[in-house]
Amino acid sequence: MQLGKLDHVNLRTRNLDTMVAWYTSVLGMRAGDRPNFPFPGAWLYVGDQAVVHLIGVDENPGAGSEGDLKLEHFALSATGMSDFHTALTAAGEKFERRDVPGGKIIQYNIWDPDGNHLHIDFQTSEVA
């Protein structure tokens, strides 16, 4: 077996519409086709790949609850770091830029409306 890249992340949320709006406006994903599951949700795409699956729930989605699984973060690679930085700043989004020591990656750490941590990774070759 040889693992490839991350296929998708599945997140439970009480704030389905807000989460869809954030992932589409801040990260430029698009909402797309989703199987006809018997529960609310949305699939958010990058190109032809549904990379974020959201499940709408009424109860606590589990983040920080004892005994529930909690995702620390997930990461996506990207290009266009300067435009992304400008867009985050213009939108008033909280972010932390980190140059990975000894690496060739610059991370933009951001948090979605439910507080899920993700980072968008850019190659250092994008720095002018």
Q: Given this model, what pLDDT does residue 70 score? A: 61
128/125 Cα distance (integer angstroms): 8
Q: Which CATH number fits domain 1-59: 3.10.180.10, 3.90.550.10, 3.40.50.2300, 3.40.50.10140?
A: 3.10.180.10
CA-nearest of 48, 47, 6, 25 to 110 is 25
- pLDDT tens digits, one per residue of 85-98: 999 999 999 999 98
68/63 Cα distance (integer angstroms): 7
Where residue 73 falls among pLDDT bands split at 50, 70, 90?
A: confident
What are the boundaries of each domain within the chain?
Answer: 1-59, 72-128
Same fold, 1-59 and 72-128: yes
Taking the model in full, what pTM does it have? 0.79
7 φ/ψ sector (left φ>0, alpha ψ -120 to 50, else beta): alpha
- pLDDT tens digits, one per residue of 51-63: 999 989 887 666 5
In CATH terms, the superfamily for domain 72-128 is 2,3-Dihydroxybiphenyl 1,2-Dioxygenase, domain 1 (3.10.180.10)
Reduced to 3 states, what is the DSSP secondary structure of residue 92?
A: coil
Angle at the Cα of 10 from the Cα atoms of 5 and 14, rounded to 5 degrees: 155
Pairing of strands 95-99, 105-111: antiparallel
Residue ranges of alpha helices (H) inside 1-128 are 16-25, 81-91
Q: Given this model, what pLDDT does residue 46 score? A: 94
H or E element that contains 108 = strand 105-111
